[in-house]
Amino acid sequence: MAKRIFDIVVSAILLMFTAPWILLLAVWIRLDSPGDPVFRQRRVGWRGRPFAMLKFRTMRTDVNPYGMSPRSADDPRLTRLGRRLRETSLDEWPQLWNVLTGSMSLVGPRPLYERQAEKWTPHQRRRLEVKPGLTGYAQVMGRGALTHEEKIELDLVYVERHNLALDVKLLWMTLWGGSAGQRDVYEQRYSVDRRREMESNGAEDGRRQADEGTRVY
């Protein structure tokens, strides 16, 4: 209950103060490249329940967005503004609405795709015992420098230890890391299984998510 109250209060305050900037960014994204500035992705939430996660668009709309995530700022799929949004994590700002409405928390494991959750072991599925978050252990302990499996293990550490004091600490570490110019936002160390899975299933996932009316940028 304390965690939910904390999420509501903090996300409401942040939305109130950032609303003008969110609107400005939405307009800027639209001027920078054609397409909707905000999009929705179907992700797995608390107890395996799917939800629509909000993000600012960082990629062009005329490219296939269903392959591997960008591995550097030189990825030609990224827009000029999109590179900056990713590196500063401003593309995640719309998720404050997800937090306010209850589908996400300020701190928790980052929400992943349903096809990824289907491959988890019972131990790894404990990741779904808490709500997905804007930030978490994996984000402050390495982010893009970690493999998919390493992130899951850190998420499980959070599931075991989470409390309000830890949430405050991780939020502070996230803000400090951002202000210090942290730029390891691009995944550099895909595991072998993860790489093979994304390369072989990219087209299939694209068709599936298109059928669901989602976009991945």
Residue 207 or residue 129, greater confidence: 129
Total domains, the chain: 1
The CA distance from 23 to 37, in Å, is 10
Q: Is residue 181 part of a domain?
A: yes
Q: Is residue 105 part of a domain?
A: yes
DSSP readout, 108-126? Answer: SPPP--HHHHTT--TTGGG
Q: Is residue 216 part of a domain?
A: no
- At 87 the pLDDT is 85
Q: Is residue 22 part of a domain?
A: yes
Q: Which domain holds residue 131?
A: 2-211
The CA distance from 1 to 129, in Å, is 15
Q: Is residue 217 part of a domain?
A: no
pLDDT band at 209 (very low <50, low <70, confident <90, very high): very low
pLDDT band at 17 (very low <50, low <70, confident <90, very high): very high
Q: Is residue 126 part of a domain?
A: yes
- At 69 the pLDDT is 75
Q: pLDDT for 142-169, tens place per residue?
A: 776 777 788 888 999 999 998 999 999 9
- At 192 the pLDDT is 47
- Looking up tokens 């409405």 gives 101
- At 144 the pLDDT is 66
The lowest-confidence range among 2-16, 135-149, 161-175 is: 135-149
The CA distance from 122 to 163, in Å, is 23
The CA distance from 180 to 145, in Å, is 17
Torsion of CA 33, 135, 144, 203, to 10 degrees: -60
